[in-house]
Structure formats: C-alpha cells, structure tokens
Amino acid sequence: MFSCILFDVDGTLLNTKKTTRLAAQAAIRETLGKEVDGQIVDSLFGISNYEAAPVYGYSDPMDFVVAIEKHYAVYAAQYNELFPGVPGVLNELKTRGVPMGVITARTRQEYDFDFDIFGLHQYFGVSVTLDDTVRGKPAADPIEKYIAQTGAQRSAILFVGDTPPDYGCAQNAGVAFAFAGWSGNNKIAGADYCLNTPDEILALVE
C-alpha cells in the first residue's frame, strides 16, 4: 500500500496523443517542409519534444520545440481531454489527504498550459518538469528531485505512467510502478501493477 502517488501527464492524466501527432506534423511541415507519418510521431510519444527533434531531422532541437508549442495550443483546444475517471480519482485522493506529484517530460511552459486549462494545479504539491533536472526520464533524476523536495519515502511512492521512460524512471529511482492501461499503449512487462481504470489506484492507497 502506498501513501504518495506520482503521475505522468500525457497518456496518464490527459489524452493528448492526437493533439501531439497533429501538432508535430504541422510543425515539421512548416519548418522542414516535409511530411512525417503519424506512426513515427506516436512511436516517440512519452519523450520530450527536445529529444524527439533530432529523429525528425532537426539540427537545432529548439526549432522544433518552438514550432510544436505554437501548433499544440491550436489543436489542444479541440482534442485534449482528461481520461474518464481521472477527475474522480484526483478528488478522492485529495479528500483523503494523499500527497500527489507530477513527473513529466514536458517543459514548465507546456505543463502549465494544460494544467491551467483543466484546473489541475490544485491537486499537486510538487511537479517536476523537463526544466527541473539535468536528465529527464528514464533517468531517476525527476523522482529523486521530488523526494529531495518532499522527503517522501521510496517505499511509500507509487508512480503511475504509460510509457517505457516512465517505467525506467521508477525502476532507476527504486519506487513502485503502475502501468496506466487506459492509455491504450502496449502493456509494460515488469510493471508492479497493471491498472485498467484510474479508480483502481484507490485500492493501492493506504
């Protein structure tokens, strides 16, 4: 049983895959003048835009970061949504007084964009973004940063995520990992827990 729950954002709290795919394709079309298959974009889901940029052919990753943020804002209003069940779970955990945090590959600006829209800041005491550590997921650094700021015990932490970098981060930091099965991604072998719906998190909380 756990007394501290950490969440990934994309594919765990928020369904952003369509927005990310369309925004990446539009950014690449605008800046590189070429088309990229949606399956390639989807295969990079879960890593930062900065890390994905070289795969698309950018010599300066910031060219992609700036371009995709512009297009993301347009598509997000149409397609982004909280996964069913997430609001109820967050409210229940907050009511129980369970500390919650965020571990994300988003920059702070990207993080604030959707969290402002969906009113999510109220649930999370500490959020660790790409800007906050030298190394992002799958390195342990983001969770280590959270532990350093909060004093949380590793044995008390459950990290809920949906991609191999999330799992790697949990493994490297020595905390338990729950796979967010509602993401629609392939199940991660080795996950401590495989959850079908967000409300199953509640059964794992002290």
Q: Are residues 165 and 183 part of one domain?
A: yes
Q: What is the CATH number of the domain that holds 115?
A: 3.40.50.1000
DSSP 105: S
Q: Which of 29, 56, 79 is where one domain is finished?
A: 79
- Half-sphere exposure of 106 toward its Cβ, with a 13 Å CA cutoff? 23
Question: Could you read off the pLDDT of 32-66 as tens digits, one per residue?
Answer: 999 999 999 999 988 899 999 999 999 999 999 99
Q: Are residues 92 and 28 part of one domain?
A: no
pLDDT of residue 142: 98
Q: Are residues 121 and 193 part of one domain?
A: yes
Q: Which domain holds residue 67?
A: 17-79
Closest to 190 in 3D by CA, of 201, 200, 199, 178:
178
Q: Are residues 111 and 41 part of one domain?
A: no
Closest to 161 in 3D by CA, of 125, 132, 136, 133:
136
Q: Are residues 119 and 90 part of one domain?
A: yes
Q: From CA 181, how far away is CA 49, in angstroms rounded?
A: 23
Q: From CA 32, how far away is CA 147, in angstroms rounded?
A: 40
Q: Are residues 21 and 11 part of one domain?
A: no
Number of domains in the chain: 2
Q: Are residues 123 and 136 part of one domain?
A: yes
Q: Are residues 89 and 31 part of one domain?
A: no
Q: What is the CATH number of the domain that holds 74?
A: 1.10.150
Q: Are residues 47 and 11 part of one domain?
A: no
Q: Which of 25, 47, 79 is where one domain is finished?
A: 79
Q: Which of 79, 101, 121 is where one domain is finished?
A: 79
Question: Could you read off the pLDDT of 96-115 as tens digits, one per residue?
Answer: 999 999 999 998 989 999 99
Question: Could you read off the pLDDT of 145-200 as tens digits, one per residue?
Answer: 999 999 999 999 999 999 999 999 999 999 999 999 999 999 999 999 999 999 99
Q: Are residues 152 and 134 part of one domain?
A: yes
Q: Are residues 109 and 62 part of one domain?
A: no
